């Protein structure tokens, strides 16, 4: 009788469990690595005893954000409500406490298992509320990645002071080089409409330690500095503040003329200096913790101090002076080049090295990872380690302008680590780039797309950037595994495959687009797809042919002493190796040397044969990733599995296009036969050359409006590859 009576209850429970088991959220990628999905039962039981209540001892704003996040995260992971308490009342408390914490500095934290009032507790302690926030995300990460938390004694602190995302977002919500929809910032409805997504964006940044955001494009409109827009900026700053994210703005150097009514923007003009001071004061009245200005000046047509015969230092220091009393900073970009000079790769160094020591204390010179422009592979920028009396930031690009844009997988941590780990030999060897920088700035890949970054795997680049900016010595494999566990799940059969796909993906992209030290072989303007043959653009360094220097005899850019001597900008121990054919790594061969097609590589193959093999290796890697991903179907929710599979399929199609078009063109120069076992391009060269795209996301045709047409090449349908 009792059993019979219980039967309906059991059925009821089973029914409810069934409903609970069905995913509460569409797996559309919105939750990023903060999914907080219920842990599998065994793991859940393990953690439950150590997470029974949350006691946040600080009322500071960021500490309260931390408490809320702990509750959200633990309640999801453990599938039970975890209450907030005012003091420890039982075993398993998680305690947040601001106290003098040795060795973690500002922003750092310690997490320790201890006893409080006789109860087992996990205490997150920090010197400041920001440390509590980061420590709370760190504890959640341990659980999300199935690490033990029963005997913790962890300390951690950021290695770089400034960890910043830079949005190339325009006021009309277009995003330059954006492949994830529109800008997140809906300027039209700000400041009235406070989209909850702004909060989720800040949360995601906080979870990986990002503490600053530049809202607008470096190709800036001065309008962002007008009073109406500053009120909109304030609304965003207010929403980001609880998550420790400071707002910065790109400042157009000519703003005093554009919106201030002045006749000049000369940085030594008193009226101009006064204008910027008044503007800074106005901003800080609205946003007391405003971060400062990012400036692209005298670069690609931007106005700047050189328009008035002044130096970059003059320009930066003027803005620094306006911000100094508010503790604001200036990030001044070193990305400069002009038509006149002989080697674009040398120009930033030539312009900025002589200014070392002349920048104000609150100026950071922002240097791209390589000397050209975010190519799939570049050697590290020669300015790293050579600006000993100047604060330097490294700028990297999360959005994949040159690495496949919206398609498939290209995990960029290996690229960034390659540069961060590079030895500058400055002032002495064993000084990696990461030891020479104060900040990392990442050009954002975030947009209005539901999954934030256009496809699910691009989220990994956002995550990896934050983790590397926190600790530039972190390993790509460690980051990939962490992200995979949090984003896709902890099943070891899944983790292994996903991590391998990720770690190989950047090298595959190099092979597909620019192997052996090639660079800048993409199509003009929109940068989508291959165009190695382009050679007729007015500015020499806009042409792919400028970089390949390819002709019937050979290929590569001679940057040794017999050429541009860009290698000479590095410390001799580094530069001499780059300049020496016997020493230069294959990966940088054509970056530094012009060699004949028949040049014998270390592999024993001719350069020509090696080049073809690299392209095919790249295509093969994408095909391998597709096969691996197919096998992951049992371990991944259908929605994301299908989405990634479709994106990989696009990447394969585009890889083949790059491979075929590049080989067809190089072969038209070299005249050499394809090595055996390598298929000829699917179409003749002319077919590839006739392909023209005009409506490619992320490219804003200046003055051209929106209506274009695609010109189909002879011999087949081109635009939809």
Q: Supply the minimum distance, in Å, between the C-beta of residue 694 and its own copies.
A: 8
Query: E strands along 494-624, which residues?
Result: 554-555, 595-596
418 is catalytic: no
Please list every residue from 678 through 697 that binds its own copies, using CB under 8 A: 695-697
Residues 6 or more apart whose Cβ sits within 8 Å of residue 241 = 61, 289
| Cα gap 433→3, rounded to integer Å | 71
Measured from the CB atom, the residue of 77 and 469 that comes closer to its own copies is 77
Restricting to residues 68-107, name those near its own copies by CB under 8 A.
79-81
> How many angstroms from the chain centroid is the CA of residue 513?
19
List the one residue from 112, 194, 341, 438 that touches its own copies (CB under 8 A): 194
Min. distance of Cβ 237 from its own copies in angstroms?
Answer: 15
| Nearest CA among 99, 224, 234, 79 for reference residue 143 | 79
Concerning whether 565 is annotated as a catalytic residue, the answer is no
Q: Of the candidates 144, 170, 509, 606, which one interacts with its own copies according to CB under 8 A? A: 170
**Of 237-245, 315-323, 571-579, 638-646: span binding its own copies (CB under 8 A):** 638-646
User: How far apart are alpha carbons 14 and 17 in whole angstroms?
Assistant: 5
Tokens of residue 409, six digits:
């997988």
Contact flag: residue 192 with its own copies (CB under 8 A):
yes
Residues 695-714, one symbol each (x = binds its own copies by CB under 8 A, - = not), give: xxx--xxxxxxxxxxx-x--
Candidate segments 62-70, 181-189, 272-280, 331-339, binder of its own copies by CB under 8 A: 181-189
Q: Which stretch binds its own copies (CB under 8 A): 109-117, 143-151, 447-455, 506-514?
A: 447-455
Identify residues 645-664 at the interface with its own copies (CB under 8 A).
646-647, 649-650, 653
Per residue in 564-577, is it b (16+ CB within 10 Å) or e — as a string? bbbbbbbbeebbbb
Alpha carbons 266 and 251: distance in angstroms, whole number: 15
Question: Total residues at the site for its own copies (CB under 8 A)?
Answer: 77
Nearer to its own copies, 42 or 196 (CB): 196
Residue 295, classed as helix, strand or coil, is strand
Tell me the CB-side half-sphere exposure of residue 441, using CA atoms within 13 A.
26
User: What's the closest the beta carbon of residue 152 comes to its own copies, in angstroms?
Assistant: 28
- Tell me: does residue 459 bind its own copies (CB under 8 A): no
Select from 109, 187, 201, 687 the one that contacts its own copies (CB under 8 A). Answer: 187
Angle at 359 between CA 355 and CA 362, to 5 degrees: 155
Out of 54, 88, 101, 171, the residue judged to bind its own copies by CB under 8 A? 171
Given 643, 661, 663, 664, the residue binding its own copies (CB under 8 A):
643
Please report how close the Cβ of residue 375 comes to its own copies at its closest, in angstroms: 22
Position among 11, 15, 49, 561 found at the interface with its own copies (CB under 8 A): 15
618 and 509 in contact (C-beta within 8 Å)? yes
Single out the residue of 113, 155, 338, 448 in contact with its own copies (rule: CB under 8 A): 448
Which one from 169, 351, 373, 511 is the annotated catalytic residue?
373
Q: How many helices (H) and strands (E) does the chain have?
A: 20, 16
Q: Which of 172, 300, 551, 630 is catalytic?
A: 300
Reported as type and span, the H/E element at residue 164 is: strand 162-166
Give the CA radius of gyration of the chain: 27
C-alpha 167/C-alpha 183 separation (Å) is: 9
**Which one among 231, 428, 573, 686 touches its own copies, defined by CB under 8 A?**
231
* CB 197, min distance to its own copies, A: 8
Beta strand pairing status for 119-126 and 109-116? antiparallel
- Smallest gap, in angstroms, from Cβ of residue 484 to its own copies? 22
Catalytic residue among 107, 169, 266, 401: 401
Judged by CB under 8 A, the residue of 113, 145, 199, 226 near its own copies is: 226
Cβ atoms of 84 and 152 closer than 8 Å = no
Nearer to its own copies by Cβ, of 179 and 335: the residue is 179
Cα(651)–Cα(640) distance, rounded to whole angstroms? Answer: 16
Instruction: Using alpha carbons only, give the angle 311, 313, 338 rounded to the nearest 5 degrees.
Output: 45
237: tokens are 């700053």
Decide if 373 is catalytic. yes
Cβ neighbours of residue 90 under 8 Å, at least 6 residues apart? 52, 53, 119
| Active site positions, annotated | 300, 373, 401
């Amino acid at each position: 009788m009792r059993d019979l009576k219980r039967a309906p209850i059991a059925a009821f429970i089973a029914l409810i469990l069934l409903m609970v088991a069905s995913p509460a959220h569409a797996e559309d990628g919105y939750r990023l690595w903060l999914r907080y999905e219920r842990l599998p039962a065994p793991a859940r039981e393990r953690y439950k005893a150590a997470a029974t209540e949350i006691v946040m001892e600080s009322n500071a704003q960021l500490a309260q954000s931390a408490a809320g996040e702990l509750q959200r995260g633990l309640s999801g992971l453990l599938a039970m409500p975890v209450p907030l308490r005012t003091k420890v009342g039982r075993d398993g408390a998680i305690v947040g406490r601001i106290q003098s914490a040795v060795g973690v500095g500002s922003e750092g934290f310690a997490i320790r298992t201890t006893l409080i009032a006789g109860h087992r507790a996990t205490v997150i302690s920090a010197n400041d509320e920001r440390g509590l926030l980061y420590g709370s995300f760190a504890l959640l990460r341990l659980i999300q990645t199935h690490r033990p938390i029963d005997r913790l004694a962890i300390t951690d602190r950021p290695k770089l002071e400034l960890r910043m995302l830079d949005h190339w977002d325009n006021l009309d919500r277009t995003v330059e080089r954006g492949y994830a929809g529109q800008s997140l910032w809906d300027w039209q409805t700000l400041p009235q409409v406070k989209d909850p997504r702004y909060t989720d964006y800040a949360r995601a940044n906080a979870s990986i330690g990002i503490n600053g955001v530049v809202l607008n494009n470096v190709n800036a409109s001065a309008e962002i500095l007008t009073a109406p827009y500053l009120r909109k900026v304030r609304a965003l700053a207010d929403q980001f503040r609880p998550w420790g994210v400071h707002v910065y703005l790109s400042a157009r150097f000519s703003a005093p003329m554009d919106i201030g009514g002045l006749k000049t923007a000369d940085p030594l003009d008193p009226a101009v200096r006064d204008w910027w001071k008044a503007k800074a004061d106005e901003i800080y009245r609205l946003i007391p913790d405003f971060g400062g200005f990012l400036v692209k000046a005298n670069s690609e047509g931007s106005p700047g101090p050189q328009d008035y015969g002044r130096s970059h230092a003059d320009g930066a220091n003027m803005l620094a002076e306006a911000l100094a009393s508010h503790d604001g900073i200036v990030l001044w970009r070193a990305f400069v080049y002009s038509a006149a000079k002989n080697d674009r790769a040398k120009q930033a160094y030539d312009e900025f090295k002589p200014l070392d020591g002349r920048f104000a204390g609150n100026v950071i010179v922002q240097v791209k990872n390589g000397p050209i422009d975010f190519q799939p592979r570049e050697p590290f920028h020669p300015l790293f380690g050579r600006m000993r009396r100047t604060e330097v930031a490294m700028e990297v690009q999360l959005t994949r302008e040159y690495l496949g844009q919206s398609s498939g997988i290209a995990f960029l941590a290996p690229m960034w680590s390659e540069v961060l780990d590079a030895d500058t030999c400055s002032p002495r060897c064993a000084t990696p780039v990461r030891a020479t920088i104060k900040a990392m700035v990442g050009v954002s890949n975030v947009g209005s797309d539901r999954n934030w970054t256009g496809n699910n795997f691009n989220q990994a680049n956002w995550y990896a950037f934050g983790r590397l900016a926190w600790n530039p010595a972190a390993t790509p494999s460690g980051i990939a595994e962490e992200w995979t566990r949090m984003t896709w799940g902890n099943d070891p059969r899944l983790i292994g495959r996903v991590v391998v796909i990720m770690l190989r993906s950047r090298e595959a992209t190099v092979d597909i687009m620019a192997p052996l030290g090639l660079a800048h072989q993409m199509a003009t303007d929109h940068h989508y797809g291959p165009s190695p043959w382009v050679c007729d653009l007015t500015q020499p360094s806009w042409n792919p042919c400028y970089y390949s220097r390819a002709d019937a005899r050979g290929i590569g850019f001679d940057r040794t002493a017999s050429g541009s001597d860009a290698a000479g900008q590095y410390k001799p121990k580094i530069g001499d190796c780059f300049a020496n054919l016997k020493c230069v790594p294959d990966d940088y061969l054509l970056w530094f040397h012009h060699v004949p097609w028949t040049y014998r590589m270390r592999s024993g193959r001719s350069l020509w044969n090696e080049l073809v093999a690299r392209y095919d290796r790249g295509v093969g890697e994408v095909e391998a990733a597709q096969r691996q991903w197919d096998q992951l179907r049992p371990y991944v929710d259908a929605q994301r599995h299908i989405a990634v599979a479709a994106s990989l399929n696009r990447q394969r199609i585009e890889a083949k296009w790059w491979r075929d078009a590049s080989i067809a063109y190089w072969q038209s120069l070299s005249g050499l036969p394809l090595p055996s076992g390598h298929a000829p391009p699917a179409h003749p060269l002319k077919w590839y050359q006739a392909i023209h795209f005009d409506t490619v996301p992320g490219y804003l045709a200046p003055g051209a409006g929106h209506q274009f047409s695609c010109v189909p090449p002879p011999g087949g349908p081109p635009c939809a590859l």
